[in-house]
Structure 1
Amino acid sequence: MSGAAGVNIWRQPAQVWAVAFACVIAFMGIGLVDPILPAIAESLQASPVETELLFTSYLVVTGLAMLFTSWISSRIGTKATLLVGLGLIVVFALLCALSGSVDAVIGFRAGWGLGNALFISTALATIVGAASGGSAAAIILYEAALGLGIAVGPLLGGILGEISWRGPFFGVVGLMAIAFIAVTVLLRGADEKRVPVPLSAPFRALRQPALAVLAVAALFYNIGFFVLLAYSPFPLKFGAMGIGLTFFGWGVALAVTSVWVAPVLLRRLPRSTAMMLVLPLLALDLFAAAIVVGSPAALVACIIVGGLLLGLMNTILTESVMEATDLPRSVASSAYSAVRFLGGAAAPPIAAALAAAFGASVPFVFAGISVLISALTILIGRGALARIDGHEADAAEEAVAVLMGDAG
């Protein structure tokens, strides 16, 4: 990213800003519903397990769709893929806002996940192709949009959630509609000729030992990620604004380490070593959360520390995927992301069920053990990962890694 030194990244064509704005809104969707989970449970008379399925339906569909987005976009073009994705998000966010039952919201969140997968799978390529100042400047813009979206999503969800649990969904409808119009009017020249990608490519990719090891490690890591994100609002017992502010801090911490700290760490340590350092620290943080779950202030501290560690792992893991095989990076990322999101999809309802059966601390223990399994997977499979420690990813490759790995 140092390649952007001396380049004014803020002087960009209007079409770049249109896609970057849409990226911010898309990534806001990751944490937008977090502050309103307790309110949805109360208003729609839903159990915590049912409420957590809002994450599950979204992540299952996003993950499965990732297996097919490269096939779709290589045939209909980037602009069409972006607009279909944005249009689906607008429609399904509106349906969520108008829903009268938790089952309906769960179903419509699945449609939202499909739209998000289509959009984020092509947004970075569009920005890189249209930005002035080279790929490094485009990457900085994209990462800034990603970090801003992850941080602002919970905050906006908290503000609008104080009015009604429907408020955040209506907010997304308005913002995404603006993004849709902006991309329609301003995005030109994005539909260059593409080479069709075989439908089977991501499935074949998972036969590669290195990619399989990283995908399994990411699956268990993502359980820890989404227990922290999706379950924590319940034991905090804050209102929507309090939860929103807590996860705004979490998002800022995640963005800072992902964009600035992880590259510094990786200049000093091999990628596999860095993962085996950060994963046990994350597990310790989750075990600490289990111990202090009855103290809101201490739990908030664990959530923020978790954000710092999650930001490191997101970048390290996804960069590793980029270097693990000779496969096209979009194919490797799609296969990896699909498996990873399955862990995220399973974690929230399992956590809620464990809390109901055994107490509020047990989900964090479950998350910590899952993260340790992730570390053990890297340790056992390190022989297959020798390649990731011997390659330096260039700036464009690092950005693709962040795109696919942090989309969930």
Structure 2
Amino acid sequence: MSRSGNAAAKANSADAYEAGLLQQPRSVWAVFFAGIIAFMGIGLVDPILPAIAEKMHATPSEVSMLFTSYNAVMAIAMLFTGMIASRIGVKKTLLTGIVIIALFSFLGGVSNHIWVLGGLRGGWGLGNALFVATALTAIVSLSRSGVTKAIILYEAAIGLGISVGPLLGGELGAISWRGPFFGVASLMVIAFIALIFLMPAEAVTTNAPKKKTSLSDPFRAMKHRSLVVLGLTACLYNIGFFTLMAYAPFVMGLDEHGLGYVFLGWGVLLAVTSVFMAPILQRKFGTVKSMSVMLGLFGLTLLAMGIWTNTPAVVIVSVIFSGALLGNNNTLITTAVMNAAPVERSTASAAYSFLRFIGGAIAPVMAGKLAEWFNPHVPFIVGACFVLLSVVFVFLNRRHVMHVDHAGSGH
């Protein structure tokens, strides 16, 4: 090739790198938009946890069932998502998830008992499992910019949804605790319409899996040590993550507005770092090393919350700061999973998500019970121990996961 040809190729390569993240087909932006709305539902509930406890005369551990049932159902449902999507198609799976979220969030808004509300949140978790797992697969497979940039886009949708959700939840929750539930149902209707009109069926058909996925595929995928190591790491880390999400609102001493703004700051940092900072860390230090440092810092942050639980300012600042750590870690660990094992990405995502959300199911009710049995400091200290244990676990199994950077370097 001539010197000018080499220069042109390099220029085209640079342009593709610079513009790749934004040069996406319409179908990717449709899933991205729907994803923002879907992920609003996670943070939307946070500012109203104390209000629900007060109105329904429930303890923090009973209210934490809103997270436990949600994550438990989501963990189990993740094993079925690939099987369903490979049979009815990606678009129909996404739309089914949205309909289920809208239905159960609406029913949650009209419920009057904490255990009924907890059960309905389980139904919400089923819808979220169908949407979340399929959305990641859809964005990665439909994107024109490679796995790494597609995951950044997916994490950006998560970050934007999680950051806006608490603000909206705080505003609606100040009117009534039922407001955020009706808000999610309304937003899901918008997401449903957007996906129907903006996601062309032919885009999904073109990128459809070549073979139908079976229920046993995620279990077969767990034969790969790398996937199990990352899944169990995320399980341990999610115990700390959902301890913060489910229990921190009870010790900050803020009303719905205040909690909404705290988790807005948390979500903004999560969104910004997941898109801009995580790729830099990944290139400079490697995925596994960067992930381990972020997990270590998050564990220490939870420890600080456990020591100074009675000082609201420390808890508030720690929650907001943790958003930066979680944003980086989410992108890093998701990228690692997509490159961890020689299995279909939808199958890898299902196996990983199953393990990850087990931690999310254990943590909320455990945090509430620990506070009731001992004192408000203990949930954060225990959560910190689990997160720091995840760092030790990665270190002990590092030879099984270090290859993820080489696997991802081709994208």
TM-score (norm 1): 0.90
Residues 165-214 of structure 1: per-residue CA shift (max 9 Å, x gap): 00000111111112212323443224415421122010111122222222
CA contact (8 A) 1:78 1:190 kept: no
Structure 2: gaps spanning 5 or more residues: 1-13
> Aligned residue for 1:5?
18
> Aligned residue for 2:73?
61
For the pair 1:155 / 2:188, whether they are aligned, the reply is: no
Q: Deviation at 1:272?
A: 2.5
Q: Deviation at 1:122?
A: 2.3
> Aligned residue for 1:145?
157
CA contact (8 A) 2:20 2:144 kept: no
For the pair 1:262 / 2:274, whether they are aligned, the reply is: no
**Where do 1:210-249 residues align within 5 Å?**
210-249=226-265
CA separation in 1, counterparts of 2:404 and 2:198? 39
**Where do 1:99-114 residues align within 5 Å?**
99-114=111-126
Q: Secondary structure at the match of 2:175?
A: coil
> Aligned residue for 2:217?
201
> Aligned residue for 1:386?
402
TM-score (norm 2): 0.89
CA contact (8 A) 2:78 2:133 kept: yes
Q: After alignment, is 149-158 or 17-26 more displaced? A: 17-26
CA contact (8 A) 1:129 1:190 kept: no
Residues 66-86 of structure 1: per-residue CA shift (max 9 Å, x gap): 111011000001121111111
CA separation in 2, counterparts of 1:62 and 1:355? 25
CA separation in 1, counterparts of 2:391 and 2:355? 17
CA contact (8 A) 2:159 2:327 kept: no
> Aligned residue for 1:72?
84
> Aligned residue for 2:8?
none
Q: After alignment, is 346-355 or 383-392 more displaced? A: 383-392
CA separation in 2, counterparts of 1:277 and 1:331? 28
Q: Deviation at 1:235?
A: 0.5
Distance change >3 Å, CA 342–CA 132, structure 1 → 2: closer
**Where do 1:302-317 residues align within 5 Å?**
302-317=318-333
Paired amino acid for 2:65 = L
> Aligned residue for 1:401?
none
CA separation in 1, counterparts of 2:46 and 2:119? 17
CA contact (8 A) 2:70 2:121 kept: yes
Q: Deviation at 1:292?
A: 1.8
Residues 129-177 of structure 1: per-residue CA shift (max 9 Å, x gap): 6678888886665443222101011111101000000000011111111
- Number of residues of Structure 1 aligned to a counterpart in Structure 2: 394
Q: Secondary structure at the match of 1:325?
A: coil
For the pair 1:96 / 2:103, whether they are aligned, the reply is: no
Percent identical pairs in the alignment equals 49
User: Of residues 280, 302, 309 in structure 1, which corresponds to 2:296?
Assistant: 280
CA separation in 2, counterparts of 1:3 and 1:266? 19
CA contact (8 A) 1:9 1:137 kept: no
Across the aligned residues of Structure 1 and Structure 2, the Cα RMSD in angstroms comes to: 2.3
> Aligned residue for 1:38?
50
CA separation in 2, counterparts of 1:216 and 1:380? 13
CA separation in 1, counterparts of 2:81 and 2:192? 19
Distance change >3 Å, CA 130–CA 219, structure 1 → 2: closer
CA separation in 2, counterparts of 1:131 and 1:221? 29
Distance change >3 Å, CA 378–CA 127, structure 1 → 2: closer
User: Of residues 100, 106, 129 in structure 2, which corresponds to 1:117?
Assistant: 129
Q: Deviation at 1:4?
A: 4.9
For the pair 1:357 / 2:373, whether they are aligned, the reply is: yes
Q: Deviation at 1:126?
A: 4.1
Distance change >3 Å, CA 92–CA 18, structure 1 → 2: same
Distance change >3 Å, CA 4–CA 98, structure 1 → 2: farther
CA separation in 2, counterparts of 1:269 and 1:20? 28
CA separation in 1, counterparts of 2:300 and 2:273? 18
User: Of residues 76, 99, 110 in structure 2, which corresponds to 1:87?
Assistant: 99
**Where do 1:329-348 residues align within 5 Å?**
329-348=345-364
CA separation in 1, counterparts of 2:235 and 2:126? 20
CA contact (8 A) 1:4 1:136 kept: no
Q: Secondary structure at the match of 1:342?
A: helix
Paired amino acid for 2:312 = P
For the pair 1:29 / 2:41, whether they are aligned, the reply is: yes
Paired amino acid for 2:259 = I
Structure 1: gaps spanning 5 or more residues: 396-408
CA separation in 1, counterparts of 2:389 and 2:143? 41
Distance change >3 Å, CA 199–CA 8, structure 1 → 2: closer
Residues 212-255 of structure 1: per-residue CA shift (max 9 Å, x gap): 22221111111111111111000012111111110111111111
CA separation in 1, counterparts of 2:21 and 2:397? 42
Paired amino acid for 1:73 = A
Pick the structure with greater CA Rg. Answer: 2
CA separation in 2, counterparts of 1:158 and 1:249? 13
Distance change >3 Å, CA 364–CA 197, structure 1 → 2: same
Q: Secondary structure at the match of 1:268?
A: helix
**Where do 1:178-189 residues align within 5 Å?**
178-188=190-200, 189=202
CA contact (8 A) 1:254 1:312 kept: yes
Paired amino acid for 1:153 = G
